[in-house]
Amino acid sequence: MQNLTAHLNMIRAMKMKPNFSELARIYGIDRRTVKKYYEGYEGKPKNRNKPSKLDKYYDEIKSKLAIKGVTVKGVYEYLKSKDE
């Protein structure tokens, strides 16, 4: 997509309308994708700001894992049974 965006920027700088079908053939993608990038699409974000379901148990998990001999699976099972 790097080359495509550079190509589209050159066309935009020349104030010309691109031939989306021709660009799609050159880059081997759908013409609607080319148009989407021409209109400013930047791609999916690299990461999501989605909170974990376990965030509210962070301190409790940390304290349980500090106990010698306790496993992650054991803490998980403990929290799972606690919620029921």
* Verdict on whether the full-model pTM lies above 0.75: no
User: Per-residue pLDDT tens for 3-37?
Assistant: 898 999 999 999 999 999 999 999 999 999 999 99
Calculate the average pLDDT of the chain: 91
Residue 30: what pLDDT? 95
Q: What is the DSSP string of 31-81?
A: HHHHHHHHTT-----SS-----TTGGGHHHHHHHHTSTT--HHHHHHHHHH
Which two tokens mark 5?
Answer: 């965006």
- In whole angstroms, give the CA distance from residue 41 to residue 77: 43
- In whole angstroms, give the CA distance from residue 8 to residue 28: 15
